[in-house]
Amino acid sequence: MPAFSVTSQRPGAWTIQRPSSVALQGSIRVPGDKSISHRALMLGAIASGETKIQGLLLGEDPRSTAECFRALGAKISELNTEQVVVQGICLGQLREPLDVLNAGNSGTTLRLMLGILASHPERFFTITGDDSLRSRPMSRVVTPLQQMGAEIWGRQQNSLAPLAIQGQALKPIHYRSPVASAQVKSCVLLAGLMAHGQTTVTEPVLSRDHSERMLQAFGAEVAVDPDAHSATVTGPAQLQGQTVIVPGDISSAAFWLVAGAIVPGSDLQITNVGVNPTRTGILEVLERMGADVTQFNQRLVAGEPVADLRVRYGPLRACEIGADLIPRLIDEIPILAVAAVFAQGTTVIRDAAELRVKESDRIAAIATQLNRLGAKVSELPDGLEITGGTPLKGAEVDSYNDHRIAMSLAIAGLNATGSTEIDRAAAAAISYPDFATTLDQLLGS
C-alpha cells in the first residue's frame, strides 16, 4: 500500500498510511500567498492600466476573487502561476453586474470586495457565498461601512450574506476596530480610497499589513503607525497598475514546518516563503517549542520580505500562546495544535475565539478530530489545551470541509500508527491544490 494515497475509496477523501520509515527530505516550494493573491487581483482590477501578477495562488479562493472582478468589468487573463494580466477599470468605474456575485468559501473576497462595492455610487450589487461563508459574521465590516454612509442589507440585521449593496459616495472615518482583523482593516481602507479625506483604522493588535504595502506600491497615499496599530489612507486615490510578485504562503509552509519537526529523521527546505513580520508568529512559536527551524536568503521581493526555510526533526516542548501573537499566526493554530500533540507538556492557546468563525469552528474541529486519533485536546471558549506525548492511532476523521483542518489532520496522520482516513479532504484546494501531490513526492511513494 502506498504511504499516502489521494485515491481513497470515497470521493474527496484521503487515506494516509504511515510507512515504516517516513522521514521527509528534500526541497519544496509552496503555492503563492493567498492574502497577497487576492489583493493583487483586486487592486489590479481597480487600478488604471495593466497589472502583472507572478506566482498567483491557483486555489479556489483567488479564483472566486477573479470571477467576481470579471463580473465587475475587469479583464483578467486565464489564471496561471507564470503571469496573470489584469486590465484595470479604475476606481469608480466598476460595472454593475447582471447577476449575484459569488465569493465561494472566501471571507477575504467578500469582506474586502464589500469596501470597494459600497463606495461605488449609483450601482447595485448582490453578493453571496457557500454554506460556510453565509454563516460567517459580516457585521464586523458592515458596521464601519455604515458609519461611512454605506447602504447594505442582509439577514439578521444585515450581518449575514447574501448581502445587497446600494453603492454610495462614502465619507472618511476613524474606525477603532474591536477585532484585530486584516479583512476589516482592508475593507475600510479600500472603502476610504474614494472618500474625500483621511480614513483611519486602528486595531487592538496589528494584523497582516499586505493591503497597506500593496496600496502604497499602487500609488495610494497610505500612512502607517505600527506602534498605534493604525493605518490611514487619503482619498480620493488614483491607483496605477503594477507588477506583483507573490511569495510562497507561510500559512501553507506551516504544514511542512510542523511535519518536518515531528516526523523522525526529517530534513526539509521550503524555498521562497513570505516572511512578512505580521505573519511570522508560527516561526516564533516553533522556536519557543524548541524546533530546529532556520531562515536564510532573506530578501525583499516586490515590497514583501521573503526567505528560504529549513526544518529538521527534533524534540518539542509545550508553550503558551496568547493575545499579542494570535493575529500573527491565526491561520496556523490548527497545525500548531498538531505540533503540540507531539510536544512534552501541556500547550495552552488562548485569546483565539476568532477561530470559531473561520471556514469552520476550528477550535471544535481540531479538538474533536485530533481526539479521535487518540490525542488529549480540550476546548477552551477561546482556544485549546493540548497535552502532548500520547501516541496517535489512525482513525476516520473529518475536515469539516475546511482546508486547513484537512491538511493539519493529514500531517497528524503521518505520525499515527495504522491508517488515517480524512473525509472531505478535497477542501484543501481552497488554498493548496497540490498539497497531496507534494506529500506523495516527499514520501517518495
Binding region for ligand S3P (CB under 6 A): 35, 108, 181-183, 186, 208, 330-331, 354
Which long-range contacts (C-beta less than 8 Å, at least 24 apart) are formed by 320-325? 320/347, 320/348, 320/349, 320/350, 321/285, 321/347, 321/348, 321/349, 321/350, 321/352, 321/383, 322/349, 322/350, 322/351, 323/205, 323/350, 323/351, 324/205, 325/281, 325/284, 325/285
Q: How far is the CB of 46 from ligand S3P (least distance, A)?
A: 17
Q: Pseudo-torsion of CA 75, 103, 326, 185, nearest 10°?
A: 60
Smallest distance, ligand S3P to C-beta of residue 236, A: 23
Q: Could you tell me the smallest distance in angstroms from the CB atom of residue 218 to ligand S3P?
A: 17
Smallest separation, CB 62 to ligand S3P (Å): 11
Dmax (CA) for the chain in angstroms is: 64
Angle, nearest 10°, between helix axes 34-46 and 182-192? 10
CB of 39 to ligand S3P, least distance (A): 7
Residue 196: enclosing H or E segment and its boundaries? none
Q: Is 374 exposed, middle or buried (0-12, 13-18, 19+ CB in 10 A)?
A: middle
CA distance 103 to 79: 17
404: left (phi over 0), alpha (psi -120 to 50) or beta: alpha
64 vs 108, which CB is nearer to ligand S3P?
Answer: 108
Question: C-beta of 35: minimal distance to ligand S3P in Å?
Answer: 3
Return all residues near 237 (Cβ < 8 A) that are at least 6 apart: 91, 193, 194, 215, 219, 220, 221
The C-alpha cell at 214 is 500593496
Shortest approach of ligand S3P to residue 266 CB, angstroms? 27
Q: Using an 8 Å Cβ cutoff, are 134 and 162 in contact? A: yes
Nearer of residues 33 and 308 to ligand S3P, judged by Cβ? 33
Q: Which residue lies nearer to ligand S3P by CB, 63 or 208?
A: 208
Pairing of strands 383-387, 221-225: unpaired
294 sits in the region (left: phi over 0; alpha: psi -120 to 50; else beta) called: beta
Catalytic machinery residues: 331
First-to-last alpha carbon distance for the chain, in angstroms, is 9
Using the minimum distance from each CB to ligand S3P, give the nearer residue, 72 or 430.
430
Nearer to ligand S3P, 15 or 108 (CB): 108
Residue among 182 and 439 whose Cβ is closer to ligand S3P: 182
CB nearer ligand S3P, residue 119 or residue 278: 278
d(CA 205, CA 229): 6
Is the CB of 56 or the CB of 414 nearer to ligand S3P?
A: 56
Report the nearest approach of ligand S3P to the CB of residue 317 (Å).
Answer: 27
Indicate the residue type of 445: S
Q: How many helices (H) and strands (E) does the chain have?
A: 13, 28
Cβ atoms of residues 256 and 43 within 8 Å: no
Residue 140, all three cell numbers: 464586523
